[in-house]
C-alpha cells in the first residue's frame, strides 16, 4: 500500500508539473499573439480623441512595404500616432521598392564595396539589417507639414528634401530625384504623399538648393 501510495503521489506530482508547464507555454503563446495583433492593428485602430484619422489610419495598400518597415521603427510609429505633431510621409509605391537593385536592409557601404569583408558580413546580421531599414524609413519621413514649394526641409534621417509643383498640371515632384507625387492623403496630423520613386540618403542630397530653415 505504501508503495502504491508513493507511486500515486509521484504520478500526481508529475501531472501537476506538466499542467504548470503547459499553462506557462500557453500564456507565452497568448502573449506573443497579443503583441503581434497589437502591432498589426497599430495602423488600423489608432484614432486620436478627436475621432479624426491620423497618419496611422490612412496608409495605402499600394505602399504596404514601407508600411511594414515603419512598423519596425518605434520612434516613427510614435510620431505617426501623435495628433499634436504634423508629419509628412513620402510613401514609395511597392513597385519602386521592389525595383531597387540594392534592398533597403543592406547598407550603401556594403553595396558599393567600400567596406571591408568583415563589415560586409556584419551587415547581414539582424541588428544591422534593422538599423538599415530604420534609416531607409526615416529618409521618407518629414517632421513638419505643410511644406512650401522650393524650400528644403529635413527628413528624420538627417537628409533634406523639397518639392516643386507644375502650375499648369498641378503635378508635384519631390527632390532629390524628381519623383512624382501620384496621390495625396490628408490626416489630422499631416499627410501622406505617395511617390513613384525612392528618396535618396542624406549623403546623396544636393547642396545647391536654398535652405528654408
For residue 86, what is the domain's CATH number? 2.30.180.10
Residue 71 lies in a domain: yes
Residue 210 lies in a domain: no
Same domain as 82, residue 59: yes
Contacts of 30 (CB under 8 A, 6+ apart): none
The residue range of the domain holding 24 is 1-41
Same domain as 125, residue 29: no
Residue 213 lies in a domain: no
Task: Kindly give the confidence (pLDDT) of every residue in the chain, 213 residues in length, as a single tens digit, with 9 standing for 90 and above.
Answer: 444 444 344 444 434 444 444 444 344 433 433 443 334 344 444 444 457 899 988 888 999 999 999 999 999 999 999 999 999 999 999 999 999 998 898 865 544 444 445 555 654 578 888 899 999 999 999 999 999 999 999 999 999 999 999 999 999 999 999 999 999 999 999 999 999 999 986 444 444 444 443
Distances 65 to 2, 16, 143, 185, 205 between C-alpha atoms, Å:
67, 46, 21, 17, 23
pLDDT at 124: 58
Residue 209 lies in a domain: no
Residue 116 lies in a domain: yes
pLDDT at 105: 83
Distance (Å, rounded) from C-alpha 213 to C-alpha 207?
14
Same domain as 69, residue 20: no
Same domain as 184, residue 82: yes
Q: How many independent structural domains does the chain possess?
A: 2
Is residue 54 helix, strand or coil? coil
Same domain as 142, residue 56: yes
Same domain as 7, residue 92: no
Distance from the Cα of residue 57 to its chain's centroid: 14
Same domain as 34, residue 61: no
Same domain as 179, residue 149: yes
| Sheet hosting strand 141-142, strand order edge to edge | 141-142, 87-92, 190-195, 179-187, 172-175, 160-165, 153-154
Q: What are phi and psi of 171, to 5 degrees?
A: -80, 130
Q: What is the pTM of this model?
A: 0.67
Same domain as 186, residue 112: yes
Longest Cα–Cα distance of the chain, Å, equals: 99
Nearest to 157 by CA among 200, 116, 115, 198: 200
Residue 133 lies in a domain: yes
Same domain as 15, residue 104: no
Amino acid at each position: 500500500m505504501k508503495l502504491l501510495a508513493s507511486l500515486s503521489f509521484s504520478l500526481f506530482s508529475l501531472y501537476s508539473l506538466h499542467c504548470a508547464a503547459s499553462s506557462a507555454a500557453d500564456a507565452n503563446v497568448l502573449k506573443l499573439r497579443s503583441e503581434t495583433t497589437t502591432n498589426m492593428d497599430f495602423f488600423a485602430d489608432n484614432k486620436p480623441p478627436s475621432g479624426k484619422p491620423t497618419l496611422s489610419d490612412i496608409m495605402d495598400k499600394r505602399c504596404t512595404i514601407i508600411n511594414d518597415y515603419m512598423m519596425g521603427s518605434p520612434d516613427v510609429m510614435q510620431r505617426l500616432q501623435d495628433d499634436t505633431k504634423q508629419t509628412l510621409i513620402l510613401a514609395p509605391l511597392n513597385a519602386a521598392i521592389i525595383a531597387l537593385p540594392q534592398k533597403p536592409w543592406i547598407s550603401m557601404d556594403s553595396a558599393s564595396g567600400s567596406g571591408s569583408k568583415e563589415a560586409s558580413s556584419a551587415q547581414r546580421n539582424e541588428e544591422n539589417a534593422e538599423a538599415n531599414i530604420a534609416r531607409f524609413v526615416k529618409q521618407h519621413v518629414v517632421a513638419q507639414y505643410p511644406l512650401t514649394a522650393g524650400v528644403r526641409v529635413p527628413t528624420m534621417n538627417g537628409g533634406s528634401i523639397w518639392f516643386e509643383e507644375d502650375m499648369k498640371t498641378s503635378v508635384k515632384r519631390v527632390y532629390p530625384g524628381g519623383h512624382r507625387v501620384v496621390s495625396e492623403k490628408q490626416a489630422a496630423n499631416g499627410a501622406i504623399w505617395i511617390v513613384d520613386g525612392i528618396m535618396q540618403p542624406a549623403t546623396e542630397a544636393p547642396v545647391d538648393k536654398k535652405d528654408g530653415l
